[in-house]
Amino acid sequence: MKEQIQFVDEGVRDWISDEEFKNFQATAEAAKERLMKREGAGNDFLGWMDLPEQYDRDELRRIKEAARKIQNDSRVLLVIGIGGSYLGARAAIEFLHHSFYNSLSDDERTTPKIYFCGNSNSSKYLADLMDILGDQDFSINVISKSGTTTESAVAFRIFKKKLEEKYGKEEAAKRVYATTDRQRGALKKMADKEGYTCFVIPDDVGGRYSVLTAVGLLPIAVSGADVDALLEGAADMRRQVMEASYEENPSVRYAACRNILLRKGKAVEVLANYETSLHYVSEWWKQLYGESEGKNQRGLFPAAVDLTTDLHSMGQYMQDGARILIETVMNVEESPRTVEIPAEEEDLDGLNYLAHKTVDFVNKAAMEGTIAAHEEGGVPIMRIDLPRQDEYTLGQLFYFFWFACGVSGYIGAINPFDQPGVESYKRNMFAILGKPQK
């Protein structure tokens, strides 16, 4: 087995005693057993649990074939989706690739540029994207279970029109890849009528648990990332969290710590990263935990910060504000790239003491110093150590958070696999827009 991510909870031991953590074991293990036996609320949405090891191999082959076709005939892939329909793929692509992936020359980046849209109602963003697209050859991956989600459906209608104007209706249809329901829904109906290539969102996998289905795997594969290694990492983490004891189980320990601290009055969990390329991993995590646990007037509020950037803004609150926070730090142990700090003959900025050190050395020192300061300031801190930024590690991380979320939800006596509150704003918006009633 390759090097595993590690969950470190030493930074909460001033708030959770060994005896208290041990006494919580029965509660946490009962929640894990409910998840494993598929006996809890929402158990019809547990298809994600077995995905890494029981993935439809024919579907995976078709995803790879489609990715190669897009790589060969398109300079741009537009990924149209919102929430879980795009966050996982964007998190993976930014985690795994160059920080300026879309800006690299075609010689440096041999795969298509990838732009995400349909995740807001911003007309400026769509118009600006239309400018960037220009006359480049492009394909569309539209991702929606229903095909009627307003943000995504509007974007698809706009860019489908441009695709058909550029290539003609018949050729345009060959450049549309619809990831949708297996049998029903507006997008599935349209795809069958127009002849789009279709991939399946499994009935038993919700959007925020879908990155290891075609929802995430197609755009990730188009970027040139190794989707097999991504699935391998998830499969290894799956075996670990399903088999390990309470004391050795990273996901169950994480879930237990979160819930003990919630019961002690903590209200907000801040996920902190020290690499800008982890920003969208944090955004993906926010949706996962916000939609899963924010129910029945309970649950930790999931927030995220990019450090050290946000130390110059949110850092003051985290250090000295209301003591309602817990902090979870994602620590990349081995930076994928290094930059050395040069020496100056005249040390005007006073930085020669860092000459010939790497920027990552400074970043790690800032992380260690910040953790120490926040702990002294009264913030319980957990840490997730990621050996490196690669597909295998990211697959582990996705599954680690998924499994912990399921256990944590059941500890909190809620259904972590539905999202009834999301529909409220839609009803109001549709009334204001004058949408016809069925």
**Strand pairing class (325-334; 268-273):** parallel
Residue 19 annotated as catalytic = no
Whether omega for the bond prior to residue 308 falls within 30 degrees of 0, making it cis, is yes
Q: What share of the chain is helix, strand, coil (3-state, %, to 5)?
A: 55, 15, 35
Residue where the block lists tokens 């349209």: 190
For residue 134, give both structure tokens.
Answer: 């220009």
Q: CB within 8 A of 398, min separation 6: which ones?
A: 88, 211, 212, 234
CA distance 43 to 418: 10
In angstroms, the CA 281 to CA 294 distance is 19
Q: Where are the alpha helices (DSSP H) in 145-207?
A: 150-167, 169-173, 186-194
- Name 345's Cβ contacts closer than 8 Å, sequence gap at least 6: none
* Active-site residue, selected from the candidate residues 169, 264, 426, 435: 426
Q: Shortest CA distance to 74 belongs to which of 112, 105, 110?
A: 112
Contact between 83 and 48 under an 8 Å Cβ cutoff? The reply is no
Active site (annotated) includes residue 275:
no
Looking at 151, 291, 293, 391, which residue is catalytic? 291
Distance in angstroms (rounded) separating the CA atoms of residues 299 and 407: 13
Q: Which amino acids are annotated catalytic?
A: 291, 426
